[in-house]
Amino acid sequence: MDGQLPTANLKPGTRNLKLVKHWTDDFFEDSFGRVMKPRDPEAALKQVDFIVAKTGLLPGADVLDACCGYGRHSIELARRGYKVVGIDRCENYLDEARKQAASESAQVEFVSMDVRELSFDRKFDLVINLWTSFGLFDEDTNASLIRRFNDCLVEGGRLFIELINRDWLVKHFQPREWWPVDDALIVIEERELDLKTSVISSVWRYLEDGAIRAETPMQLRVSSCHEMIALLRGCGFCDVEAFGDLEGGPVTFDSRMMRLVATRK
C-alpha cells in the first residue's frame, strides 16, 4: 500500500459550483507552503488528543479533514485507527502528505478538492477544519462552507473548527509584523483591520537573500466567539461548545485561538 485507502467507496459528489478567480488561488502556493511546513509535530499530537477528547470520537470512526494541508492531523488520526479523508486544493501539499503517509504506513485518502465544492457520497462522523482555514471568502460563501460541513456528517456527527479569535486580534492588533520561516526566508506582513466588516486585509512579502521574492495579498473575515456560535446554529448545528486553549479553558480576550465543537442536529 502507498499510504492511501481504497477509493471504491469514496466518490466526490457532483461539483456544479463555477469558481471565479480568488486571492486564495495564488496565496497558498509556493511561498506559503514553506511557512506551513516547519510546524511543530508535537503540537499536532496535542491538537489531535484534544479533538478526540472533546468530540468523543469512537474507535474506527470516519473523519474528514477539510483543508488538510500537509496532512499532519490526518496522518496522526489514521495512526490511531480512524478512517481518514483529507482534502485540499493544493496538489503540492497533497503530494507531500501522500509521501509522508506512505512512509509511516498510514492509511489516509487524500483528495484534491476546493472546499467550496465540498461534497461526498459518503458521510463522516467528524469533520475537522483547523488553523484558521475558515473565513477566507465572502459572507455567503463562508456560511455555505458550514452548511457543506453539516451535509457531510452523519446525524449526530461532530464538527471541530479552529480559528483565530477576533476579540484577541482587536486587543493585540499589530499593523506590521515579521518572522523568520527558516535560515533563508523571512515573512513581512502588513495588515489593516476594518472594524465595520471584521475583515483583515494584508500583504505578505517573502524576503529571501535580501530581496523580495514574492508578494501576495490576503483577506480574512475574522469572527468573535458569539458570531461563530450563531453561525453554526443557523447552519444546522446544535450543542456548540467553545474552548480557548487545549486545556479546555473558556474563550477570553486573551485566547488567540478558539476551538468550537458542534453537533449536527
Q: Would you say 242 and 229 are in contact if contact means Cβ atoms under 8 Å apart?
A: yes
Residue-wise pLDDT tens digits, 218-262:
999 999 999 999 999 999 999 999 999 999 999 999 999 999 999
Q: Per this entry, what is the length of the chain?
A: 265
- State the pLDDT at residue 30: 67
What mean pLDDT comes out for the span 46-62? 97
Three-state DSSP class for residue 145: helix
Residue-wise pLDDT tens digits, 11-25:
444 444 456 778 888
What mean pLDDT comes out for the span 77-95? 96
Output 21 or 211, whichever has higher pLDDT: 211
Tally the C-alpha atoms within 13 A of residue 22's C-alpha that lie toward its C-beta. Answer: 14
Burial of 103 (0-12, 13-18, 19+ CB in 10 A): exposed
Residue-wise pLDDT tens digits, 197-210:
999 999 999 999 88
Would you give the end-to-end CA distance of the chain in angstroms?
A: 37
